[in-house]
Amino acid sequence: MDINKAISYHEHTIHYTPDGHADKPGRLNNLGNSFVRRFQCFGDQMDIDKAISHHEHAVHLIPDDHADKPIYLNNLGNSLLLQFEHSGHSTDLQRAILSFKESATSHFC
């Protein structure tokens, strides 16, 4: 129940955070992390799909030179790796590796 409440609170917060707000990528990232945790507990495919979607959205919104970009890319990579472990699809693994590489080579001010 706690993870469901956390997801609900994150979704509520994102709903009221306007596009372009500096905190939106972080909030999307946190929501993605909550979906990862629920996926790890219950194994529902929809949860890992949502985690990946929210992590991708966070990565898309955050500027390339932002100090948190590598963290968001790493979280996306972790979600994709979990997806690969569950699905066995090599494309998920390839996407995870790409995300990890981008995280490792990100430059910020």
pTM of the model: 0.93
The CATH number linked to 86 is: 1.25.40.10
Contact 78, 36 (CB under 8 A): yes
pLDDT (tens place) for every residue of the chain, 109 residues total: 799 999 999 999 999 999 899 999 999 999 999 999 999 999 999 999 999 999 999 999 999 999 999 999 999 999 999 999 999 999 999 999 999 999 999 865 5
Alpha helices for the chain (secondary structure H) = 2-15, 24-42, 45-61, 69-87, 90-105
Range of the domain at 71: 2-105
Predicted pLDDT of residue 108: 58
Predicted pLDDT of residue 73: 98
Number of domains making up the chain? 1
HSE value, Cβ hemisphere, 13 Å, CA-based, for 85: 11
Predicted pLDDT of residue 106: 82
Smallest CA-to-CA distance from 78 within 35, 107, 24 is with 35
